[in-house]
Amino acid sequence: MMRLVYLSPVPWNSFAQRPHQFVRWFHQQFNAKVLWIDPYPTRFPDLSDVQRVLASKFVQTSTVVGTVKDKENPEKADWLTLVKVPALPIEPLPASGFLQQWFWRKAMAEIDAFVGNTKAQIVVGKPSKLALQVLVRYPEMASMYDAMDDFPAFYEGLSSKAMQYTEGNLAARVNKIVVSSSAVSRFSDQADKLSLILNACDSDNLPPALPRSEQSPVYGYVGTIGHWFDWDAVVKLASSLINTDPRALVRLIGPVFTPPPCALPKNVQILPACSHARAMQAMQKFSVGLIPFKRKLLTASVDPIKYYEYRSLGIPVLSSDFGEMSLRADEDGVFLYNGESDFTTLLKTCLRHRSSADGLSKFRADNSWAARFAALIPLFDAGADHRGRRRSATRLEQFAWQRA
């Protein structure tokens, strides 16, 4: 039986995201056992971390439908082992990896016991000193870095530079780099290792698309509201609705880490974070789905999962032209805005859009996680066939750049 050591960028007990979907797919595809290693702090904490912890505690105590935890209880699932890694939040400091080794002895022992003499793969979802030490410890194992975000862009100052250095070392060590966005300039030195696997959605477990109302339209957003959230665009959008459609609402659902810079128009509602099931129910009532993100380094490499969820529910998307969304101007149901856009005309166009039943069915099938990860099957099959030694460069070259 194949085995996977997965160093996750998100905790197991969180909303089902790309990491959760990946390990479930890997288990089902290869009948594999998975060792999931929860992340630890990789920068100095700040005030926003307190807010984030409080928000995550709400999610963990809610009925989070759609997580692997609900569908596969780790206490009962014999294919899954969870590991929590104790650590001090000192990783930006030089030699922090050496200082942390005492805290990581138990985790390393658990990895040793899990791997044994079996066929194993290593997948890293976030750069860290622990990930580097695991790769050094098992140089013979096939390895992959799933670069879901531009992690250095999340940090500032010393932390950002430390993350750049760590990610660069990680990219040099792994056999394969998978990116979730077309923005890959930081991996220019590793171009022969790159494959593009965009994000997707849990198509099999989404609720049905419901008829959308034009009488009392709701322009909605579900997700975290951080420093990348474009409050100015939301205020402009909401203000234009007051003049053209006073019945319309702008509904924002999620934790607010960056508050609005001014008083909001009266037609803007801010609702707290909720479970994934409730979020999907809220989306079903949206007339238009919003993705109002700023154009900046952080968002340049983002492929938002909410895009796939909105469209799978038949909801047209109004988005800024950032990241992967900037390449979707010609796709059905996608409407992009920039600083020069006339929201009055654009909002009316969005509201009138309708998707066909056949179109929605095809979108769900084409943008499921299983369809996405299918492009990785040759990579892992190759790794499994070469137990005990690294795959050659010629083998790596077989996996050319692909947009799955």
Predicted local confidence at residue 354, as pLDDT: 93
- pLDDT category at 76 given cuts 50, 70, 90 is low
pLDDT exceeds 90 at position 102: no
User: CA-CA distance, 60 to 370, in Å (whole number)?
Assistant: 26
- pLDDT category at 63 given cuts 50, 70, 90 is very low
Predicted local confidence at residue 337, as pLDDT: 96
85 backbone φψ class: left, alpha, beta (φ>0; ψ -120 to 50): beta
Query: What are the φ/ψ torsions at residue 42 (nearest 5 degrees)?
Result: -115, 25
Tell me the one-letter amino acid at 308.
Y
pLDDT exceeds 50 at position 66: no
- pLDDT category at 233 given cuts 50, 70, 90 is very high
Predicted local confidence at residue 339, as pLDDT: 85
Closest CA to 258 of 102, 111, 48: 48
Predicted local confidence at residue 73, as pLDDT: 56
Length of the chain: 404
Q: Count CA atoms within 13 Å of residue 348 on its CB side.
A: 7
- pLDDT category at 388 given cuts 50, 70, 90 is very low
Predicted local confidence at residue 404, as pLDDT: 29
Predicted local confidence at residue 384, as pLDDT: 57
Predicted local confidence at residue 59, as pLDDT: 37
pLDDT, tens digit, 9 for 90 and up, residues 184-228 = 889 989 999 999 999 999 988 889 998 887 788 999 999 999 999
Predicted local confidence at residue 87, as pLDDT: 87
Mean pLDDT of 127-135: 94
Tokens (6 digits) for 29: 């595809």
pLDDT, tens digit, 9 for 90 and up, residues 309-323 = 999 999 999 999 999
Predicted local confidence at residue 168, as pLDDT: 94
Q: Give the least confident one: 305-309, 324-328, 382-386, 392-396.
A: 392-396
Eight-state DSSP code of residue 287: S
| Chain Cα centroid distance, residue 52 | 16
Q: Is the pTM here over 0.75, yes or no? A: yes
Tell me the one-letter amino acid at 201.
C
pLDDT exceeds 80 at position 269: yes
3-state helix, strand, coil in the chain (%, to 5): 40, 15, 40
Predicted local confidence at residue 385, as pLDDT: 52
Which has the higher per-residue pLDDT, 179 or 102? 179
pLDDT, tens digit, 9 for 90 and up, residues 374-387 = 999 988 876 555 44
The whole-chain average pLDDT of the chain stands at: 85
